[in-house]
Amino acid sequence: MDALLTALDTALRTLSGANHAARPCPRPGVEAAPLDETQRRLAGALMRVNHVGEVCAQALYSAQALTSRDPALRRQFDAAARDETDHLAWTQQRLRELGARPSLLNPLWYGGAFAIGLLAGRAGDAVSLGFVVETERQVEQHLEGHLARLPEGDLASRAIVARMKEDEARHADAAGAAGGQALPAPMRWAMRAAARVMTATAHHL
C-alpha cells in the first residue's frame, strides 16, 4: 500500500510540475549572447523532448521500484530516480526560460512508460536491470545527438544536457554492475523505435 502511494505521488508530482531538484541546475561558466527567435524555438523543441524523456524516466523507475522484491535494488532505483528528478526540474526550468511549454501528451508518455516499467520489473531483476542499462545507454546517445543539434550559443541548455548525459552513463554502469542482463536484439530495436516515435512527436506536441 505504501509503495503504491509513493508511486501515485511520483506520478502526480511529475505531471503537475511540482518537482524540486536536490542539486543546483548546471550553469555555463560564461554569459551567452541572447538567442534569436529561430534558435530559441529549436532549443525549446529539443528541451521539450528531453523533458518528456525525464517524465518517462520517472515512470520507468517508479514502476521498476514498485515491482522489485530486492530491497537493495529498490534503493538503487530510488537513488537513480532522485537524479532523474533533478533532470526533470532542470529541463522544466529551462523550458520556462526558453518560453516553451512541456509536451501536452505527458500523461500519455507517463502511462506508457509506467506500463513498460511494470513489464520489465515483472520479468525479474536481471532483465529489469538490463532494461535500465539499455534505456540509459540509448538516452546517453540521444543526449549526445542533442549536443550536436542545440544552437551553438545556447550554453544554458548545453550545460544541463551535458550533466544529464554524465548522470545517465553512471546509471547505466551501476545497473550493469548490479547484474543487468543484455537484452535480446529485437527488444533493443523495439525500444529504439518507441523512443523515435516519442522524440519525433514531442518535438512538436
Q: Which of 42, 48, 38 is nearest to 201 (CA)?
A: 48
Contacts of 53 (CB under 8 A, 6+ apart): 139, 142, 198, 199
User: Which residue in 47, 131, 171, 199 binds Fe ion (CB under 5 A)?
Assistant: 171
Give 184's contacts (C-beta < 8 A, 6+ positions apart): none
x/- letters, 119..158, toward Fe ion (CB under 5 A): -----------------x----------------------
Q: Which three cell numbers stand for residue 80?
A: 537513480
* Near Fe ion in 26-65, by CB under 5 A: 57
Instruction: Determine if 168 is a binding residue for Fe ion (CB under 5 A).
Output: yes
51 versus 98: smaller Cβ distance to Fe ion: 51
Task: Give the contacts of 14 (CB within 8 A, at least 6 positions apart).
Answer: 55, 58, 59, 88, 106, 110
- CB distance 48 to 112 below 8 Å: no
Q: Does 163 bind Fe ion (CB under 5 A)?
A: no
Residue nearer to Fe ion on the CB measure, 35 or 159: 159
- The H or E element that residue 23 is part of is none
Cell of 65: 521500484
Least Å distance, CB 84 to Fe ion, is 5
114: cell is 509506467
Q: Least distance (Å) from Fe ion to the CB of residue 97?
A: 19
Site string for Fe ion, 65-84 (x = CB under 5 A): -------------------x
Question: Pattern of binders to Fe ion over 83-112, x per CB under 5 A?
Answer: -x--x-------------------------
- Quote the least distance from Cβ 77 to Fe ion, whole Å: 11
Closest to Fe ion by CB, 155 or 174: 174
Positive/negative CA dihedral, 54, 56, 62, 65: negative
Q: How far is the CB of 33 from Fe ion (least distance, A)?
A: 28
| For Fe ion, the closer CB: 87 or 142 | 87
The three cell numbers locating residue 35: 538567442
Q: And the C-alpha cell for 132?
A: 535500465
Q: Which residues bind Fe ion (CB under 5 A)?
A: 57, 84, 87, 136, 168, 171
